[in-house]
Amino acid sequence: MHAAALGLTCRHAMQVFAQNETLSLQAQLIEAKAKLARYEPNITMSDVNPNALLHKIKEAFDTQYPPCRRVAPVCTLQDAWNPLSPLELDNIWGHMGVFDDDPDVVEDIPDGSRSLFGMMQTELITAFGAACREFCIEQAGLALCAVRQALVGGYMASSGWDKFRLGTTQEPIVWRAIFCHLLDMKRNLKNFGDSENPFEGNHLVWA
């Protein structure tokens, strides 16, 4: 009787343990799927072409703001140490508004978001898919941070404000910083894929 009771107790304990393990695994699976959608795009490294992505971003920006008419990213000496601040809501090179909150909206972003930041989001979402929207927003933000740091470095390395204030001096710094971030983003993707040339598009080429 004692042995039978002990057997039932052990079996009950194993059932409880198995149920707890199942619930734990289910919770981990849900968490993993959410993390995968946010941080690990369903795309191979070889599918990402930083040069092509940059050209699409620049083409969209040039169409909206023709080079002959737009102002430089940093317009005043005061802003040279803190360029493209989020507080500059009217700067086309920064945030300038909020991206559309609807995850299904990839195109036709509002005029208030017609900034470089918003256009980077759009092109990244187009490339990675709407399921990776949060990842794309994060990457656009990191790219903008890289631009801000590069502009500060460019100003420090320049011969003074009179030369740095020119758009022809600042714009190459912006585009190069974005390209370098896209390249780092590609390198951080885990899956190299089956491409014969997984590093295609890793060199900045202007058309």
pLDDT at 150 over 90: yes
DSSP per residue, 85-136: -TT-TT-TTS--S---S-TT--SS--GGG-SHHHHHHHHHHHHH-GGGHHHH
pLDDT at 144 over 80: yes
> If you average pLDDT over every residue of the chain, what do you get?
76
Between 44-58, 78-92, 129-143, 182-196, the lowest mean confidence (pLDDT) is in 182-196
**Does 203 or 30 have the greater pLDDT score?**
30
**One domain, residues 62 and 164:** yes
Give the pLDDT confidence score for residue 102 in this predicted structure.
45
**One domain, residues 105 and 64:** yes
pLDDT band at 129 (very low <50, low <70, confident <90, very high): confident
Answer whether residue 117 is part of any domain: yes
Answer whether residue 183 is part of any domain: yes
**One domain, residues 107 and 17:** no
Answer whether residue 71 is part of any domain: yes
Answer whether residue 197 is part of any domain: no
> How many domains is the chain partitioned into structurally?
2
User: Distances from the Cα of 139 to the Cαs of 24, 80, 104, 133, 182, in angstroms?
Assistant: 31, 24, 18, 10, 8
Give the pLDDT confidence score for residue 112 in this predicted structure.
42
Domain that holds residue 124: 45-188
